[in-house]
Amino acid sequence: MNIENPEPLYIPINKREESDRPREKLETLGASALSNAELLAILINTGTKKKSAIDLAQELLGLVGGELDKLHMLTPRQMKEINGIGKAKATFIAAALELSKRRKGDFNLQTENLPQYPVHKDAKLNESKPAITSSLSVFEYYSYQFLDLLHEEFHIILLNRANQIIKAIQLHKGTTTSLSIDLKMIIRNVGDYQASGLIICHNHPSGSLKPSQVDIDVTHRINEVCKMIDCNLLDHLIFSNSGYYSFKDHNIY
- pLDDT (tens digit, 9 = 90+) per residue, 86-101? 999 999 999 998 887 7
Q: 237 - beta bridge partners?
A: 201, 246
Distance, CA of 132 to CA of 135 (rounded, Å): 8
Indicate the length of the chain as a whole number.
253
- Residue 169, phi then psi, degrees to nearest 5: -135, 135
Could you please state the CATH topology (level 3) that the domain comprising 135-246 is classified under.
Cytidine Deaminase; domain 2 (3.40.140)
Q: Which of 77, 72, 128 is nearest to 97 (CA)?
A: 72
Dist CA 244 CA 29 (whole Å): 26
Give the span between the Cα atoms of 21 and 35, in whole angstroms: 12
Residue 179 confidence class, pLDDT cut points 50, 70, 90:
low
pLDDT of 131 strictly over 70: yes
- What is the reported pLDDT for 253? 75
User: From CA 96, how far away is CA 215, in angstroms rounded?
Assistant: 35
Alpha-carbon Rg for the chain, nearest whole angstrom, is 21
Report how far residue 178's alpha carbon sits from residue 51's, in angstroms, rounded to the nearest whole number: 45
Overall average pLDDT of the 118-125 stretch: 81
Q: Best-predicted range by mean pLDDT among 14-28, 117-131, 139-153, 189-203?
A: 189-203
pLDDT band at 144 (very low <50, low <70, confident <90, very high): confident
Q: What is the pTM of this model?
A: 0.69
Query: Using one digit for the tens of pLDDT, what is the confidence trace for 19-56?
Result: 568 888 888 888 878 899 999 999 999 999 889 999 99
Domain range list for the chain:
13-105, 135-246
DSSP letters spanning 64-116:
TTT-GGGGGG--HHHHTTSTT--HHHHHHHHHHHHHHHHHHHTS----SSPPP
pLDDT, tens digit (0-9, with 9 covering 90-100), for 207-221 = 999 999 999 999 999
User: 8 pLDDT band (50/70/90 cuts)?
Assistant: very low
Q: CA 236 to CA 137: how far, in whole Å?
A: 13
Res. 1: pLDDT tops 90: no
> Whole-angstrom Cα distance, residue 210 to residue 167?
27
Whether 181 and 153 have beta carbons less than 8 Å apart is answered as: no
DSSP annotation of 211: P
**Better-predicted residue by pLDDT, 33 or 188:** 188
Helix runs in the chain, H state only: 22-29, 36-44, 53-62, 76-79, 87-105, 135-142, 183-192, 213-228
